[in-house]
Structures are given as structure tokens and as C-alpha cells.
Amino acid sequence: MKLANKVALITGAGSGMGRVASLLFAQEGARIGAIDIDEKAAQETARMIESAGGKAIAVKADVSKSADAQAMVAATIEKLGGLNIMYNNAGIEGKAEPIVKLADEDFDRVIAINLRGVWLGMKHAIPHMIANGGGAIVNTASIAGLVGLRNSSAYCAAKAGVIAITKVAALEYGRYNIRVNAICPGAIDTPMVSRIQGGGTMSERAVNRISTLGRIGKPDEIAKMALFLASDDASFATGAPFIVDGGWTIG
């Protein structure tokens, strides 16, 4: 197993890519700290892991709050015996509005969760990783951090920021045997994408415009990339954005 005897903290573990990654990491031997602002959703993910023979705890946390970020790290270490992997995955899409119509508080909320949340997760996890001789951090960015998307100024800014602080963290902590990478998903079949589509599905024309493969991605395709980056298979990979977008950003 790729993550045998490892402890992984995963934010946004209550649904979508976070839940699928939590289950996959557990299958590969990791003990999971399943973190979500929706406590019941986090508990369900932990229950699914336990029922499959794994070990997990559920922790409610608002990743944009420093006290919550500190507490989720402390709870994971206390109850699971350490922290080797952090997957900063929690995020929201925010309101779809052009720049001049987007309310200040809506901009701030997206930045707080999608960017500040990643920064806080690393801030509180890295000291423990240093003390334990290293670790792996995976941050969820987006192709929105690489290209501009209409009506998504806050989201694009946050995800570009995630890519930037991923590079900074890799520079600062590589000497402590800590690798830090980001995943840049394209359109993935998750509750978030469903909400963006108004609860429906993308038209064939829309799908073909954003994917050369003629389909949107599956959560497990992102989870497998996260597993690679969290495992020793990626032992020489750090400071990079890994694009998994079905060809959206080719040109």
C-alpha cells in the first residue's frame, strides 16, 4: 500500500473530491482526519472508511479561521498519532458576478476559504512535519488559477494564489523534507460543478469546449493524482501545479 502507516488530514472531506480522496487514501493504508465544515458529512466519510476496515476521525472546522485550523491539526495528531500528509482541498465557488457587481463580502469569503484556508492549513501543519522529519502537502488549486474565467474574479484570484503559495512553501520547507504541490482540476463531476450548472448537467457543446476528451472528469481521477503526490512515488516532485483538466488549457 502506498500510504501504509501514514496519517493524512484532508479538508473538504465531506463530499466530492475530498470524500473520494479520503476513501482512496484509506484504502492505501492511511489513517484519515476527515475535516469539513459540515460535521455530519465528515462523520459519514469517517464512517465509510471505518466500515471498510480503515481508521478515521471526523472533525468540524472552518478552514478560514486560524483557531479551527490549529484545532483540526491538533485533533488529528492526538487521535491518530501524527501527521504525514495534508491535503488542503476545502473550497467554494462563490457568486458568479462580474467584477464591478461582486459584493465586497462575497469576494472576501472566497479568498478566506479558498486561499487563506490553504495558508492556515500549512501554517499549522508544517511545524509538526518539521518535527517528524518531513511530509507531503497537496493543495487544491484549479485551472482557474491559470486562465481567466468570466464572472469568477475572486475564485480565479484565490486559485492563482494557491499556486503561488504552493511554490513559496516548497522553497521554504524543502530542506526539511517537506514536499508541496498543487492540483489544478478542470471541470469535475462534483456537487460544486452541479451547483455552478444550476443543478443540471453541462450540454454536449459546453463539454466539448472545455475537454478534448469529450467528457468532464471524475472525482477519482483527481484523487489518484493527489495519491501520487502524497506518496513516495512523487518523491522528487515539489513546488509544481499538476494540471488534470481533460485538455481545457491546451490552447
How far the first Cα of the chain sits from its last, in Å, is 37
The label of the residue with cell 501520487 reads 228
> What is the four-CA torsion angle of 233, 84, 120, 222, rounded to 10 degrees?
40
Phi and psi angles of residue 90, each rounded to the nearest 5 degrees, phi first: -60, 140
Decide if 91 contacts 12 (C-beta within 8 A): yes
Q: Is 155 a catalytic residue?
A: yes
Neighbouring-strand partners of residue 241: 182
Planar angle of CA 170, 223, 70, nearest 5 degrees: 55
Decide if 181 contacts 166 (C-beta within 8 A): yes
Which member of 87, 155, 173, 176 is catalytic?
155
Range list of H helices, the chain: 16-27, 39-51, 66-80, 104-111, 117-131, 153-173, 191-196, 204-210, 219-230
- Active-site residue numbers? 155
